Structure 1
Amino acid sequence: MLSLVEFFQDLGNPLLSFLPKALLVAVMSAVVCGVIGSHVVLRGMVFVGHAVAHSVFPGLAIAFVLQGSLVVGGMVAGVLTAVFVAVFSQNRRLKEDSVIGIFFVGAFALGIVVISGAPGYSGSLQNFLFGSITGIPDSNVYVVAGAGVAMLLLAFLFHKEIVAVSLDREMARSAGLPILALDILLYVMVAVSVVVSVQVIGNILVIALLVVPAATARLLTDRLGLMMVLAPAIGAVCAFVGLYLSWAVDIPTGGTIVLLATAVFVLTWVLAPRHGLLGKLLAQRSVADGEERAVREPVAA
């Protein structure tokens, strides 16, 4: 198995220039998804992230046919779908998940029709579904970096407003907040976060990078601000270690990162001090011991 020192040597090898690019994109994706994913977990909109992850397909397909940037094509499709979902969801006659399901399958079907007519689409479809660390061009690294910084900046600037809408929509509406605009903003941030992660981790598994680190952080703290620090940190560590293990053992990068993040979540679910299984059992035992002592003390007196 490749040692960690040898992995760092490979990162500096000019013949393996794709490897540091993959690491950079993986870590940037994990950081962006960790921050935006905190809002996704808080709001309980995991299905939205799943739908957006698939709705970028037609943009990627059109970009592939036109030989353009897959990242830009995916972003355009994801943003358009996010806007449509946000607008149509304002009609409370239909539940949000119904609207999401309609646009999700419609967008994915459009992508299938578009890419099926392109020669050699099978290999690109496989890269899209499962990720490809060897296929990240330099231009996409710059696009991912720019989009990531923009999403983090928007998340910081509109943090209070998005949280207010997530916690109580009616209260936020009565306070004069633009509910539709904030919904669109959050959906767009989810869409962009998904697109920047697709290249390394793949479309099938990308929702895990958006949700799992944030859910893990949720078990560790009750404070949203700290959660939005822990989630990207957990995701970045999993991305680095996952890429190292996949390179050392020659296993798929996306699957390795997701399995590692899932293992961290399971361990946290068991061992978290306050909200983990072990912590709750210890708290219950402490309460039971206190009640038992309270009963015994009067008897001893």
Structure 2
Amino acid sequence: MEWLLEPFAVSFVQRALWGGVFVSLICALAGTWVVLRGMAFLGDAMAHGMLPGVALASLLGGSLFLGAALSAAAMSLGVSALGRSRRLSQDTAIGLLFAGMLAAGVILVSRSQSFAVDLTGFLFGDVLAVRDRDLALLAGALALAAAIAAAGHRAFTALAFDARKAHTLGLRPAVAQALLLSLLTLAIVASFHVVGTLLVFGLLVAPPAAAWLWARRIPLVMLGAAGLGVLATAVGLLVSWHAQTAAGATIAAVAVALFFVSAGLRRAVA
């Protein structure tokens, strides 16, 4: 029992746990729609697209959250704009912006004197450095994500299964798509400090995908994803404490591992 509780008696691990819990709940709300809509590549690209904004904010001494939000919003708008072209598929537009934004971010970070340290933190996060101010921001982000998810639930559901029917029902698919991208942007921006821009994808997709194997009702998928995300956070922090591994990466690895465990159990009982 002491082995299990020892890490969580430390104040910075407690803050890391709360940060991971908030992020897991936000990612459950957004990630469920990412899985249902098949938007995984877009989510991954937007996570990488945050890097220029985060790097620029760091160089200028500004807010990393604000830099990440502006960069992710620019990525979202760019994908939407290029996606309207009849000559380019949306995958091509996402791929171009993905590579361009990531390259711009690395170039900006390379101008920093602490290039290796900064880039590692941006890409893989630093959950053990979460402060009380960060927890307050994450709590606010969770409240906003819940409001967006509740307001757009009916439109998101219709859009996930039949965009034409959504239009027929007067649900304005274009507005719903923009609102969904806003929710995805919020989840990615809120998560990068915990698991970094590369590994946010693990918490965004793995728990909802694991929950989707067992449930078909969207609220139940979200609830299961939230539970699995919180479990991944707690187990990841515990393992990283005793194994002396990177906390954010360990959390993401546990989240992905839980998906494969869930898939194996589902196959066994099928």
Scaled to the shorter chain, the TM-score interval is over 0.9
Amino acid at match of 1:160: R
Is the Cα contact below 8 Å between 2:49 and 2:98 reproduced in 1? Answer: yes
Are 1:109 and 2:103 an aligned pair? yes
Shift of 1:202: 2.0
Shift of 1:140: 2.5
Q: Secondary structure at the match of 2:197?
A: coil
- Percent identity between matched residues is 34
Are 1:6 and 2:36 an aligned pair? no
- Specify the alignment match of 1:257 in structure 2: 251
Q: Secondary structure at the match of 2:126?
A: coil
Q: CA 1:229–1:31 in structure 2 vs 1: closer, same or farther (change >3 Å)?
A: same
Rounded Cα–Cα distance in structure 2 between residues aligned with 1:135 and 1:200: 9
Match of 2:27 among 30, 33, 37: 33
Q: CA 1:87–1:173 in structure 2 vs 1: closer, same or farther (change >3 Å)?
A: farther
Q: Secondary structure at the match of 2:216?
A: coil
Structure 2: unaligned runs, 5 residues or longer: none
Shift of 1:92: 5.1
Match of 1:187 among 181, 192, 195: 181
What is the 5 A alignment of 1:24-63? Answer: 24-63=18-57
Q: Secondary structure at the match of 1:203?
A: helix
Is the Cα contact below 8 Å between 2:19 and 2:127 reproduced in 1? Answer: no
Range moving further from structure 2, 188-197 or 114-123: 114-123
Is the Cα contact below 8 Å between 2:52 and 2:105 reproduced in 1? Answer: yes
Rounded Cα–Cα distance in structure 2 between residues aligned with 1:234 and 1:109: 33
Shift of 1:139: 2.8
Range moving further from structure 2, 145-154 or 256-265: 256-265
Q: Secondary structure at the match of 1:261?
A: helix
Rounded Cα–Cα distance in structure 1 between residues aligned with 2:161 and 2:243: 44
Shift of 1:198: 1.5
Deviation per residue, 1:96-137 (Å, 9 max, x gap): 212211222222222223222232232111111122134334
- Specify the alignment match of 2:191 in structure 1: 197
Q: CA 1:60–1:189 in structure 2 vs 1: closer, same or farther (change >3 Å)?
A: same
Is the Cα contact below 8 Å between 2:207 and 2:228 reproduced in 1? Answer: yes
Tell me the C-alpha RMSD between the 2 structures.
1.9
Aligned residues: 270
- Specify the alignment match of 1:20 in structure 2: 14
Is the Cα contact below 8 Å between 1:87 and 1:180 reproduced in 2? Answer: no
Amino acid at match of 2:218: L
| Larger Rg belongs to | 1
